[in-house]
Amino acid sequence: MSMDREKQILEILLKEKSVTVKALAKTLFISEPSVRRDLQRLERKNLIKRTHGGAVLEDTALSKNRIPFFIREYEQSSAKVLIAEKAIHCIQDNDVVFLDASTSCYYLIPFLAAKRNITVVTNGVKALSKLAEYDIHTISTGGVLVNSCLALVGEEAYKTIETFNANIAFFSCRGISEDGYLTDISPEENNVRKRMIKHSEKAYLLCAKGKFGKGYFHNLCHKDEIDGIISDG
């Protein structure tokens, strides 16, 4: 139950940015001491910062940690649907498609069902389950699991990607710097993306407009090295 409540609290914080113990207790139908214990656990995970009588969710704090997939899934979800609606027009029947483990690519999956005879190669664990739901022919890269973001990385993932020549690759990142570099906080995920870009005829970044102008410590590539950026802006 505590994990479910933590997720609910994080969902609320993603929308509201700050909460009070009293309001959370009322919303979640639990006692204030229970809320405080949940907030303590979340703070220990470096996901929130407790304040007097409540808590806040800071973007700066999130950027310094590998953000669990179950949090990222709720970030800018409406923007990601809009991006997916645009991205699907780049895909043709019979295409081989690379998808990284990002939630932006995850939101694209329901739209893929409209295409015939496509093959998807992905390193996303949640993506694999969603693709199965839509009966889409799918190949897993294999590799080492990064628990926090449910991404498969490492040499086995590279080897699988390098055996395919995809028609198109879709991927995301944490931010685009002012000078046009696609940046992230996970070198392991970026290394998978680099190989997807290299072994695909075309490569597109799926990126919410809020990520523009934000730079993180690991560079994937420059925007001029890919075929385009699909955004909600």
13 sits in which H/E element: helix 2-16
Asked if 92 and 194 sit in the same domain, the reply is yes
Long-range contacts of 190-195 (CB under 8 A, 24+ apart): 190/218, 190/219, 190/220, 191/153, 191/158, 192/100, 192/101, 192/123, 192/141, 192/143, 192/151, 192/152, 192/153, 192/157, 192/158, 192/161, 193/100, 193/220, 194/220, 194/221, 195/158, 195/161, 195/162
Which one-letter DSSP state was computed for residue 103? Answer: H
Q: Is the Cβ–Cβ distance between 84 and 99 less than 8 Å?
A: no
Asked if 88 and 156 sit in the same domain, the reply is yes
pLDDT at 21: 97
Q: What range does the domain containing 226 cover?
A: 71-230
| DSSP letters for 129-169 | HHHHHTT-EEEE---EEETTTTEEESHHHHHHHHT--EEEE
pLDDT at 214: 93
CB atoms within 10 A of CB 22: 12
pLDDT at 11: 82
Asked if 17 and 105 sit in the same domain, the reply is no
Closest CA to 225 of 181, 169, 186, 193: 181
The tokens describing 221, both together, are 């590539």
C-alpha–C-alpha distance, residues 158 and 222, integer Å: 21
Asked if 221 and 173 sit in the same domain, the reply is yes
Q: What is the CATH number of the domain that holds 13?
A: 1.10.10.10
Asked if 103 and 177 sit in the same domain, the reply is yes
Per-residue pLDDT of the chain (233 residues; tens, 9 = 90+): 567 788 889 888 877 889 999 999 999 999 999 999 999 988 887 778 899 999 997 766 554 455 666 677 766 688 999 999 999 999 999 999 999 999 999 999 999 999 999 999 999 999 999 999 999 999 999 999 998 889 999 999 999 999 999 999 999 999 999 999 999 999 999 999 999 999 999 999 999 999 999 999 999 999 999 999 999 97
Q: How many domains does the chain have?
A: 2
Asked if 40 and 88 sit in the same domain, the reply is no
Asked if 78 and 185 sit in the same domain, the reply is yes
